[in-house]
Amino acid sequence: MSRLGAPLPRHLHPVAWWVWAVGLAVACSRTTNPLLLLLAVAVAGLVVVAKRGSSPWARAFRLYLGLGAFVVVVRVVLHVLVGFKFGDHRLWTLPSVDLPGITLLGPLYLEGLLAAAVEGLRLAAIIACVGAANALANPKRLLRAVPAALHEVGTAVVIAVTVAPQLADSVQRVRRARALRGEGGTGLRAVGRVALPVLQDTLDRSLLLASAMDSRGYGRRVAQGTLGRRATASLTLVGLLGAALGTYGLLDTTAAAFVGAPMLVAGLGLCAAGMVVGGRAVHRTVYRRDPWALPEWVVAGSGVLATVAVLAQATVAAAGLAQPLSPLAPPALPLLAVAGLLVAALPAFLAPSPPVPRRESS
């Protein structure tokens, strides 16, 4: 702890950031209240601005916000083109085109447009939560926390989630290089001049990454016997089937009691056993494992509490989580859900800041 009582700068465990982001995303998925969705996006942005580092993926949060805005626009446009038109407040009457089983355009109502915008906003908020996790969690450190049995899958996933940040970093470097050479121009004319250097830079960095991973032994496995492979496949398959049945039992109120939580717990246990057996064929070392201390519990717990608060709000007063459309009315402000989302903003003040990279003295 520092003299002011704040945690000392260090890299937070990446799993803690993902638990926080997933909790916030689940809370967003349970509501169509635009006030809550905008609050969740604001919370994610506040935490990213306060705790992001200087890595390339930390500067990619704007891309996710732009993608979210694009999703909202597309959702509204699709409603105008082929959406189900409903409501009492007619705005415009567009010429309709009747096709087999579908009608294009037609009358537009305020309720329908608002419903489409809110649905798009919900998806945009979930995208912002995932973007916040990508901006805050170091994907290379996240790979070290993946179980040994999922090491190869985790490697592919980590490489996939770093594509967008690395591409954004390549675009910024190419633009700076063009500015230093005095080459201006924006818009569509500059796309052709920027695209080829960005593609070449991305390809070069991909080859360097592949060479570095190959030199460190990624993708190499120890020979595993037939019995071990069959045991791993059987445990994993049966576990996944049990988890699927358990999830169905929890969602179906008419299912037997043993099909719900007991089946889900048993299935997850078999999956874990399969991972342990399969992980014996992967031998890897981890240098200086990331600690899981009090700041990690605070960050992960704040995201889980956001989900719990929204679920509790659905139990107490579910109407506050939805945008009233029939009749049309302003959205409510459910205090319990708002409190849960505000708790999710605690990492901006309680989580340790990432260490600042040292600059070499000249």
More confident residue, 246 or 361: 246
Is 265 inside any structural domain? no
Out of 14-18, 225-229, 244-248, 250-254, the most confident range is 14-18
Measured distance CA(70)–CA(97) in Å, rounded? 26
- Residue 83, CA distances (Å) to 65, 160, 296 in order: 25, 33, 44
Is 140 inside any structural domain? yes
Is 357 inside any structural domain? no
- Residue 253, CA distances (Å) to 249, 260, 315 in order: 7, 9, 16
Measured distance CA(11)–CA(351) in Å, rounded? 10
pLDDT by residue (tens digit) across 95-108? 878 777 677 888 88
Is 42 inside any structural domain? yes
* pLDDT at site 141: 74
Question: Do residues 164 and 135 make contact, with C-beta atoms less than 8 angstroms apart?
Answer: no
Which stretch of 74-88, 115-129, 208-222, 332-346 has the lowest confidence by average pLDDT?
208-222
Is 173 inside any structural domain? yes
Measured distance CA(57)–CA(247) in Å, rounded? 34
Identify residue 255 by its one-letter amino acid code.
A
Q: Vertex 182, ends 178 and 185: CA angle to 5°?
A: 70
Out of 3-7, 260-264, 308-312, the most confident range is 308-312
Grade residue 129 by pLDDT with cuts at 50, 70 and 90.
Answer: very high
Angle between helices 61-82 and 34-51 (to 10 degrees): 160
Question: Do residues 46 and 327 make contact, with C-beta atoms less than 8 angstroms apart?
Answer: no
Measured distance CA(44)–CA(341) in Å, rounded? 10
173-206 b/e (C-beta count within 10 Å ≥ 16 → b): ebbeebeeeeeeeeeeeeeeebeebbeebbeeee
Is 123 inside any structural domain? yes
More confident residue, 347 or 4: 347
Measured distance CA(76)–CA(120) in Å, rounded? 8
Identify residue 358 by its one-letter amino acid code.
R
Measured distance CA(99)–CA(82) in Å, rounded? 11
Residue 120 three-state SS: helix
Grade residue 205 by pLDDT with cuts at 50, 70 and 90.
Answer: confident
Number of domains in the chain: 1
* pLDDT at site 33: 93
Q: Is the pLDDT of residue 133 over 50?
A: yes
* pLDDT at site 303: 94
Q: What's the rounded mean pLDDT across residues 4-10?
A: 62
Which structure tokens are listed for 16? 């803690």
* pLDDT at site 126: 94
Q: Which secondary structure element, helix H or strand E, spans residue 53, and what is its range? A: none
Measured distance CA(265)–CA(243) in Å, rounded? 7
Q: Is the pLDDT of residue 361 over 60?
A: no
Q: Is the pLDDT of residue 346 over 90?
A: yes
- Give pTM, 2 decimals: 0.73
Residue 2 three-state SS: coil
Is 256 inside any structural domain? no
SS (H, E, C) 152-201: HHHHHHHHHHCHHHHHHHHHHHHHHHHHHCCCCCCCHHHHHHHHHHHHHH
Please give the mean pLDDT across all residues of the chain: 80
Which stretch of 111-115, 312-316, 353-357 has the lowest confidence by average pLDDT?
353-357
Out of 46-60, 119-133, 246-260, the most confident range is 119-133
Grade residue 353 by pLDDT with cuts at 50, 70 and 90.
Answer: confident
User: Domain limits at 172?
Assistant: 14-189+293-350
* pLDDT at site 114: 92
Q: Is the pLDDT of residue 175 over 80?
A: no
Is 35 inside any structural domain? yes
